Amino acid sequence: MILFATRLSHQLPHFFSWRPDPLAEATDAFLQDCGPVRGYANLPWNLIGRVLVKVESQGVELVTLIAPIWMSQPWYPRLLRMLVSNPLRIDPQRAAIMQDHLDLTPFLAVWPISGNTIKIRNFHQRLQTSSYHHGDRRPQSLTTHLAKSGSAGALRGNVI
């Protein structure tokens, strides 16, 4: 199930559209019961926080979210808490997304998230302990640099 698509952009047979669409299962994923859904979401970045709240509050089974590695965003800690598998970084050369006004290509990742607390707990118990060195210099651009170790961040002392 694609959570935000149109008849022109959907890649799976079942999808929720943002606006009325004759081929969509329903309109506006935020209004749907998504609990049993296994979904895919590649949406405008300003909706990421809202999607995370929806997934968490409804205990959604699994959502494969395409989102930037953007540690300075208020939704980023929640994103890390909701992971059920390691995120996969998308090669910037293949992302085909440019922020023209910023003259950069953001680092995107595939984030497997869930609102199922048992799945989340099982994944977090398998994480390695972080050896992050406090005091490292902040990258110039918060959307284009990863940690030196290549990790997406740390949660409760564990590397993700």
Instruction: Provide the pLDDT confidence category of residue 159 given band limits of 50, 70 and 90.
Output: confident
- pLDDT for the residue numbered 1: 46
Strand, coil or helix: 62? strand
The model scores a pTM over 0.75: no
Give 35-53 pLDDT, tens digit per residue.
666 778 888 898 899 889 9
Q: Which of 95, 45, 54 is nearest to 73 (CA)?
A: 45
Distance CA 53, CA 36 (A): 16
Q: Which two tokens stand for residue 71?
A: 């540690």
Q: What residues does 16 pair with on adjacent strands?
A: 26
Domain boundaries, the chain: 33-126
Higher per-residue confidence, 143 vs 59:
59
